[in-house]
């Protein structure tokens, strides 16, 4: 909890600023130039301007009337040349034959390329690992197989997959496939996993840390914590909210494994497991929340850091926006946040259940008793309510809060009121 420092007495240290047409189809249709019997030609500019008549090909003259033998009337431009039928001759026939042969070769080559991919007639012998997620469509699967080098023709594979009802056969999981397999073998290979166990449903509450999430997954034989930590530290998960987070430390994903209930497979790959959490976060932190975050001048990372502190400190759902207001008010006043939960996170395995004065001096970028501004990163996985509270804090003059004996916090504007409560019988420690 924030301690008894008056805002007016804490304006030293680093200063922290407040987070305070064009119709292309119609254009293309217009490019079909007409050829008139007079032999006049039209020239179009590349920008689609009005066509110009070439003066050397056409000179304007009054039209005169002529009559055919059958009494029909025709209009011809004076001096216009009649178009004579062209004779291809021997050279033309040869050119046409060459064209037909060349076209046949192209089509034959294309057919061979597709057939080679479908039937694996002469493909390179190479193995690759592919992770299929529960919600992957045939398009997603084709993209992953193409990227891994297992197939070359995505369109051909999708056509075969739809023909063979592959969507009903393919199961999620991690597979090692060979590039010299035909499509039949590939689909079968994606539907019979070796070592993949039963489905396990697990719940992860708001406020769980990354270590607690990984431990629960390991205890239920989904994946080892060691593999999960290594993957979290080094694997490139393609999400905008992770951009800029440095690789090398698995804590980079702290706060982004969204708390929820999930179905996993025993012995599932770490990439697939973590992807479930991140995909859920990306879905929950949707366009509206992203827009609200940007409107407030925040980044998603800043919001998740603040939300994680709210999640750990709040005693009830009604307190979240008030705790958020204390955080922002203290940041505005250049005060240290002095939030106990950040010290607990900084202590890690050294935390004994109580915080001593010595603990408050731990050297860590997460210790908000020693450092100004926000901690180095989130300290847990916040829920949606805490995320929303971090984006829209309550408008108050609160700078302090303390826990009461009833399990809820009291909020104060000044240090004197805060100290008086802490020294009363209502203080819950």
The rounded Cα 231 to chain-centroid distance in angstroms is 18
CA-derived radius of gyration, the chain: 36
How crowded is residue 415: how many other Cβ atoms within 10 Å of its Cβ?
Answer: 18
Backbone phi, psi, residue 44, to 5°: -105, 140
Can you give the pTM of this predicted structure? 0.61
Q: For 10-32, b where at least 16 C-beta lie within 10 A, e where not — what string?
A: beeeeeeeebeeeeeeeeeeeee
Backbone phi, psi, residue 402, to 5°: -145, 150
Please report the pLDDT score of residue 20 as a whole number.
42
Residue with tokens 């819950």: 428
Which stretches of the chain score pLDDT less than 70? 1, 3-112, 120-122, 192-197
Query: Which neighbouring-strand residues pair with 405?
Result: none
Distance CA(134)–CA(137), nearest Å, equals 9
Residue 251 and residue 241 in contact, taking contact as beta carbons nearer than 8 Å? no
Please report the pLDDT score of residue 329 as a whole number.
98
Q: Which H or E element spans position 42?
A: strand 42-43
Terminal-residue alpha carbon distance, the chain: 10
Residue 190 and residue 178 in contact, taking contact as beta carbons nearer than 8 Å? no
Please report the pLDDT score of residue 278 as a whole number.
95
Instruction: List, in order of start, the domains of the chain with CATH numbers.
Output: 127-189 (3.30.1490.480), 199-284 (no CATH), 316-422 (no CATH)
Residue 176 and residue 129 in contact, taking contact as beta carbons nearer than 8 Å? yes
| Count of all residues that appear for the chain in the document | 429
Residue 342 and residue 309 in contact, taking contact as beta carbons nearer than 8 Å? yes
The rounded Cα 254 to chain-centroid distance in angstroms is 17
Q: What separation in angstroms does the CA of 384 have from each of 46, 114, 284, 388, 391?
A: 53, 48, 7, 6, 11
Please report the pLDDT score of residue 197 as a whole number.
63
Please report the pLDDT score of residue 66 as a whole number.
43
Distance CA(359)–CA(289), nearest Å, equals 36
Give the closest residue to 205 by CA, choosing from 136, 152, 258, 150: 258
Distance CA(103)–CA(105), nearest Å, equals 5
């Amino acid at each position: 909890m924030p301690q008894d420092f008056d805002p007016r007495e804490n304006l030293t240290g680093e200063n922290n600023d407040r987070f305070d047409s064009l119709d292309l189809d119609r254009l293309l249709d217009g490019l079909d130039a007409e050829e008139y019997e007079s032999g006049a030609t039209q020239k179009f500019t590349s920008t689609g301007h009005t066509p110009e008549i070439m003066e050397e090909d056409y000179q304007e003259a009054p039209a005169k009337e002529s009559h055919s033998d059958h009494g029909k009337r025709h209009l011809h431009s004076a001096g216009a040349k009649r178009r004579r039928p062209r004779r291809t001759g021997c050279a033309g026939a040869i050119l046409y034959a060459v064209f037909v042969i060349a076209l046949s070769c192209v089509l034959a080559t294309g057919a061979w390329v597709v057939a080679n991919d479908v039937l694996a007639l002469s493909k390179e012998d190479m193995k690759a690992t592919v992770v299929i997620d529960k919600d992957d469509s045939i398009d997603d699967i084709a993209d992953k197989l193409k990227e891994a080098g297992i197939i070359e023709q995505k369109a051909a594979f999708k056509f075969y997959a739809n023909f063979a009802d592959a969507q009903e056969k393919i199961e999620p999981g991690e597979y090692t496939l060979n590039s010299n397999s035909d499509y039949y073998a590939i689909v079968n290979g994606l539907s019979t996993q070796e070592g993949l166990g039963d489905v396990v449903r697990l719940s992860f509450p708001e406020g769980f840390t990354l270590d607690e999430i990984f431990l629960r997954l390991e205890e239920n034989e989904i994946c080892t914590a060691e593999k999960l930590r290594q993957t979290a530290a080094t694997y490139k998960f393609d999400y905008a909210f992770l951009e800029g987070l440095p690789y090398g430390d698995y804590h980079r994903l702290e706060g982004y494994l969204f708390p929820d209930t999930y179905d996993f497979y025993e012995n599932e790959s770490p990439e697939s497991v973590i992807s479930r959490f991140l995909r859920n976060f990306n879905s929950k932190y949707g366009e509206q929340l992203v827009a609200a975050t940007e409107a407030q001048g925040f980044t998603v990372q800043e919001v998740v850091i603040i939300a994680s502190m709210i999640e750990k400190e709040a005693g009830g759902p009604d307190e979240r926006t008030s705790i958020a207001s204390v955080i922002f008010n203290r940041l505005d006043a250049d005060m240290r946040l002095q939030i106990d939960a950040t010290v607990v996170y900084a202590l890690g395995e050294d935390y004994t259940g109580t915080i001593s004065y010595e603990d408050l001096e731990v050297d860590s970028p997460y210790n908000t008793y020693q450092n100004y501004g926000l901690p180095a990163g989130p300290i847990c996985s916040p829920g949606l309510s805490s995320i929303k509270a971090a984006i829209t804090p309550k408008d108050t003059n609160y700078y302090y809060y303390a826990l009461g004996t009833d399990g809820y916090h009291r909020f104060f504007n000044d240090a004197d009121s805060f100290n008086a409560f802490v020294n009363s019988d209502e203080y819950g420690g």
